[in-house]
Chains A and B, each alone.
Chain A
Amino acid sequence: MREITYLEAIREALQQKMREDDSVYLIGEDIAEYGGAFGVTVGMLEEFGKERIRNTPISEEVIIGVAAGSAMTGMRPVAEIMFSDFITIAMDDIANQAAKIRYMFGGKARVPIVIRTAGGGGTGAAGQHSQSLEALLAHIPGLKVVMPSCPYDAKGLLLASINDDNPVVFIEHKLLYKNKKYIQHVPGEMYEIPLGKGDIKRKGKDLTIVATSFMVQKSLDAAEDLKKEYNMDCEVVDLRTLRPLDIDLILKSVNKTGKLACVEEAPVFGGFMGEVASQVTEKGFDMLDAPIIRIAGRNCPVPYSLVLENEMIPGVERIKSSIKKMAGLSQGKE
């Protein structure tokens, strides 16, 4: 069984879909010869040519605007915004245009675009190249937001995103791209993972961890350690899509465990997990044995220096100590 990286899974989804559907094209900065800042589109120029692998000047808002306009008129663009931080530059075209067009036009138009972008920190790229801005995006009705945590999900979710008739922001994590630790068997043929369906990445009965993207992997590591060290059995729920949100899956898990720890990379204030926590409280208050905790980024921009960055972004140790404290296993420092 072949095993491939997250990056290869994304590239394969793009290649296979483009072979099948002429209306799919890529648009973005340095995606042609260079193959994208992270190498996702390497080799695609050679196969598909300049017309369909559209290298652009540095104009994020126009990349999204052009994608949206061409999507309304019959194309299915996949736009690349090099770092998710630069999405802010394209925010009018995303939030006021792409996301709202269908509704404002009374359901009479479709904007089938995928905005692929690299999010997250841990790379020493500091405040303007490390953010996790998913909460901003998930807040906007009309947008779907997807954050895959592993190669298998990345391929299936990307194909579902391209096939979806709505604007989808597909946030990839830089630290997952080439990491051999996370290679996985990925089917060679095309398959879809439906948007709006979460996934249990680890079964457990004592506590539910809800996470997204790279934090799923860190949570899985933390869960393994907690099992070994304390015989504590955590269930890890991978949201996979933030919007639509699979709240039923979360509630089912919390109903079993009675405890919920939400893990995210973004600063805790106003983070997406606030939405998860509030929905669980509204719909499953009686299931809870303890207050929900959020293990998230500190309330500051992502700093440069490694020692500070490690403090800002939750790591396996912080996830473990916070959960231990919640479960009354120690006075672990949060």
Chain B
Amino acid sequence: MKKVKGINKASKKEKFLDIDGHKIRDSFPDLGREEKIGILRTMYRIRHFEFQTEQFIIRGMIHGTCHLYIGEEASATGAIAAIGPKDYITSTHRGHGHCIAKGANLNIMMAELLGKKTGYCKGKGGSMHIADVGAGNLGANGIVGGSIGIATGAALTCKMKKNGRIVICFFGDGAANRGNFHGALNMASIWDLPIIYLCENNVYGMSTPVKEAFNIKRISDRKYAYGIDGITIDGNDVTEVYNTISHYASLCRKGMGPVLVESLTYRYRGHSKSDAQVYRSKEEVKKWMEMDPIKRYAGRLISENLITPEDDKQIEKEVISEIAEADRFAQDSPFPDPADVEEDVYA
């Protein structure tokens, strides 16, 4: 583990938390009321975007597959709230949440899902390839682990250009067993790259439980293999995610990256469009749903008197109408022109 310098100089009021045995500053209270509410709004956006996507799936409007992020909202939201608009992320096949948290336009995202010309990829990519490069989202990825190298390369740019930016590389537990995970973490560690490898451990990679795919209990223990820091956090607690990523983001900016963060979470829905979920029990799903990240966070804001239960409902209502608008936009948008099929192959 690399030494954290200067932390003792922090002001008296500052509180430190023990997260997985790491002393991490509680930076969440630094956020203003609007920012805190913004986090809640983002989580609702993700969830309702996914509800709408699910409706599209049910109605047969999605050509291709989709992987829903319902249940995992705190992970993307907390992490991305802790970095800046100029920082980069790379995402996964389960990427709608990361994309929304990075500030994507819901209308344009939804248009992409419906294969429309107005979508982020002009209908060429679909759910698994939504990218918002201008906003620093270097893309979802249909290849499990496909973004690990890309993210590491983006971190190399940040280092070489000394632009002060950092990268969050999102990937699943399943991806942590790809060979490039090893190569990338090793390379990033010898070059001290400013990158947070954020492994979203949602208990399964498709049907394969983590306990059958790993011989270690904690994926973050792989930190020892690279001589870097690593931590396992409650990925359904958005404040814990926020505090952890804030902490490591500032270390990365000081040249003390990379780090491996394991965020424990759970997907409520099946793996993709078609999944009978024979590999898990209804009780297990129910147990996780009781720890719902949005309910937990809304409860916290209410108990801190930042919002009332009515405000909470109002925020959700506003989000629902944003989604309805995105739905309208997407459905009203035109399909691409088949004559353009060979456009964009080369720069």
Contacts and interface: CB of A to CB of B under 8 A. Distances in A.
B123 A308 contact: yes
Contact of A126 (B116, B142, B208): B142
B63 A298 contact: no
A304 B65 contact: no
B345 A300 contact: yes
Contacts of A37: 206
Nearest to B335: A307
A34 B278 contact: yes
A194 interface: no
A301 B335 CA distance: 18
A34 to B, nearest CB: 4
A311 interface: yes
Interface stretch (A52-60, A143-151, A213-221): A52-60
B48 to A, nearest CB: 23
Given A30-B208, A125-B65, A304-B125, A59 B342 contact: no
A33 B338 contact: no
Nearest to B334: A307
B142 to A, nearest CB: 4
Contact of A304 (B115, B177, B339): B115
Nearest to B344: A300
Interface in B252-302: 278-279
State the main secondary structure of chain A at its contact with B: loop
Interface stretch (B143-151, B158-166, B186-194, B233-241): B143-151
Contacts of B101: none
B72 to A, nearest CB: 18
Contact of A124 (B62, B112, B175, B205): B62
Given A126-B126, A303-B123, A305-B336, 15 more contacts: A29-B206, A55-B208, A57-B208, A58-B145, A59-B177, A124-B115, A125-B65, A128-B143, A300-B344, A301-B345, A304-B64, A304-B115, A308-B124, A308-B338, A312-B341
22 contacts: A29-B206, A30-B208, A34-B206, A57-B208, A58-B205, A59-B177, A86-B143, A124-B62, A124-B63, A125-B128, A126-B64, A128-B141, A128-B143, A304-B112, A305-B63, A305-B115, A305-B336, A308-B115, A308-B123, A308-B338, A310-B338, A311-B338
Interface of A: 29-30, 32-34, 37, 55, 57-59, 61-62, 85-86, 89, 123-129, 298-301, 303-312
